[in-house]
Amino acid sequence: MPVKTFDVRDESLAIQGRSRIEWAEQEMPVLRQIRERFAQERPLKGQKIAACLHVTTETANLMRTLVEGGADVMLCASNPLSTQDDVAASLVAHWEMPVYAIKGEDNKTYYSHINSVLDANPNITMDDGADLVSTIHKERTDLLKHIVGGTEETTTGVIRLRAMANDGALKFPVIAVNDAQTKHFFDNRYGTGQSTIDGILRATNILLAGKTVVVAGYGWVSRGIASRARGMGSRVVITEIDPLRALEAAMDGYEVLPMLDAAKIGDIFVTATGDTHILDKEHFQVMKDGALLSNSGHFNVEINIPELEKMASEKRRVREFVDQYILPDGRRLNLLGEGRLINLAAAEGHPASVMDMSFANQALAAEFMVKNHAELKPQVYSVPKAVDDEIARLKLAAMGIQIDTLTAEQAKYLTSWEEGT
Ligand code: ADE
C-alpha cells in the first residue's frame, strides 16, 4: 500500500479553505513583499522545512512564502484543537503540501502527525511550542545529523528551549522569533488580547460588560487580554507572582489579588502564565456557580482539569466549546475549549494583520538560518535587530504611516555628552 502523504479531515473543504487563505493574505502585506522577493531570489532552495504550527489561514500564507523561497515544506499541527480543517485541505489540494492535522485529533494522532513530518528528514524545524525539537531530542536523535537549525514562535517554546540550552541538551541552534519586538509587542499583546476575547465570546455568547474577569499573569499576553476586557466594560482583576509586574498592573489601574481571593469573585477566568495548575482544587472549591474557566497559554496545564474531573459529580457538554462540571454542592463550573488555547480552539487565532509581522519574522529567520548556520552554536538566538527594524518599517509603510527622521543636529546631540544645562 502506498504511504499516505497527508492526513486531513475532509479534502472537499479545500475550496472554502483557499478562499479564506486569500482573504487573510490581503491583510499580510509584509509577508507578501517577502514572498515576492523569495520568488526572485529563492533563498531557501534545497531546504526541507518541517513546520509544527497552528494550521490557520495565516500559517498557510507563511507556508506559501517558504515554498516560493524554494523550500520543501511539511506541516503538522502544534495543538490538537487549533487546526482549521478547510485550510489543511486546501494546502494539500492546491499547494500539494504534505499536511498532517485534524481539528480534535487525540494525543496519539497528534504525535503520530509530528512523526510523519519528521519522517521527511528535515534540515530546518519551525516550531510553535517546541514539540518538534523536543521529539527530535527525545526520540528521533537519528535526525540530528540532517538538521542545521530551527525557529521557535512562542514564549512557552522559547522557555523550553532555553532550559534545554542551559542543560547542554540542545543540539542545534534555534532562533527565538518570539523575542523579536515586532512579534511579542504586537502578536502577544494585541493578537492574543483580541482573539482571546473573540474565543470566549464565540464559545459562550456572554456579555462582558459588568462581569468580573480574572486574568492570571501580567505578561504581554495577559496585558492584551486585560485591556480588551476592560475596554468592553468588565471589572478586571490581575493575579501575579512577580512583584514588578503586579505593581505595573496596579498602576495600570487593575485590582491585584491572590488567586484564592480572586477565585471567589470572578465570573470569567483566563490563565496566561505558561505555568501549571494556576487554577486548582482550592480555587474550584470557592468559585461562584456558573464561573467560566478558560486558558490562553500554550499548553492545557494551567487549569487542573484532572482535579476538576475528580471533584465533579457530573459533566456535560452544554455548547460546542463548553463542558459543564457539576460539583456535589450543585455549583456549575464551565470549562471552555477543554482548557486549550481558547483563541484558537473556539475562534480563529490572531487576526492576519498581526500574524503578518510574526510570520515575516519566521520567514526571515529561516532565511537567516540557511545563510548563517555554519557560524551558529547550539544555542537560542534572537532575531537580528536589523530584521526587526525592517519589519517595523515595512508594516508602517503598508499602513500608510510616515514618521520623522533625526536631523543631523539631533543625531549629533544624541552621541555627544558635552552639552548640558
Ligand atoms: N497563533 C495565534 N494565532 C495564530 C494564527 N492565526 N495563526 C497561526 N498561529 C497563531
Is ligand 1 within 6 A of the CB of residue 355?
A: yes
What residues does each domain of the chain span?
11-183+350-398, 189-345
Question: pLDDT tens digits, residue range 367-399?
Answer: 999 999 999 999 999 999 999 999 999 999 999
Does residue 2 register a pLDDT over 90?
A: no
Question: pLDDT tens digits, residue range 122-136?
Answer: 999 999 999 999 999
Is ligand 1 within 6 A of the CB of residue 56?
A: yes
More confidently predicted of 419 and 15: 15
Ligand 1 pocket test: which of 358, 361, 362 has the largest number of ligand atoms within 8 Å of its C-beta? 358
Q: What is the per-residue pLDDT for 418?
A: 84
Answer positive or negative: Cα dihedral of 109, 151, 161, 60: negative
Of the options 3.30.565.10, 3.40.50.720, 2.60.40.10, 3.90.1150.10, the CATH number for the domain spanning 189-345:
3.40.50.720
Owner of C-alpha cell 503540501: 97
Span 70-99, average pLDDT: 97
How much distance in Å is there from the Cα of 357 to the middle of ligand 1? 11
Is ligand 1 within 6 A of the CB of residue 58?
A: yes
**Residue 317 falls in which region: left (phi positive, over 0), alpha (psi -120 to 50) or beta:** beta
Grid cell, residue 338, equals 477543554
Ligand 1 pocket test: which of 63, 82, 197 has the largest number of ligand atoms within 8 Å of its C-beta? 82
Does residue 228 register a pLDDT over 70?
A: yes
Is ligand 1 within 6 A of the CB of residue 268?
A: no
User: Looking at ligand 1, which atom is closest to the CA of residue 348?
Assistant: 6
Half-sphere exposure of 115 (CA within 13 A, CB side): 11
Is ligand 1 within 6 A of the CB of residue 31?
A: no
The answer to whether 11-183+350-398 and 189-345 have equal CATH topology is yes
Is ligand 1 within 6 A of the CB of residue 183?
A: no
Is ligand 1 within 6 A of the CB of residue 129?
A: no
0.85 cut: is pTM over it? yes
How much distance in Å is there from the Cα of 47 to the middle of ligand 1? 24
Across the chain, mean pLDDT equals 97
Q: What is the per-residue pLDDT for 421?
A: 81
Span 5-19, average pLDDT: 97
Does residue 114 register a pLDDT over 90?
A: yes
**What's the pLDDT band for 260 if we cut at 50, 70, 90?**
very high
Q: What is the distance between the alpha carbons of residues 239 and 256, in angstroms, rounded to a whole number?
A: 6
Does residue 176 register a pLDDT over 60?
A: yes
**Domain over 11-183+350-398 is classified CATH 3.10.129.10:** no
Please state, for a pLDDT cut of 70, what percent of the chain lies above it.
Answer: 99
**What's the pLDDT band for 209 if we cut at 50, 70, 90?**
very high
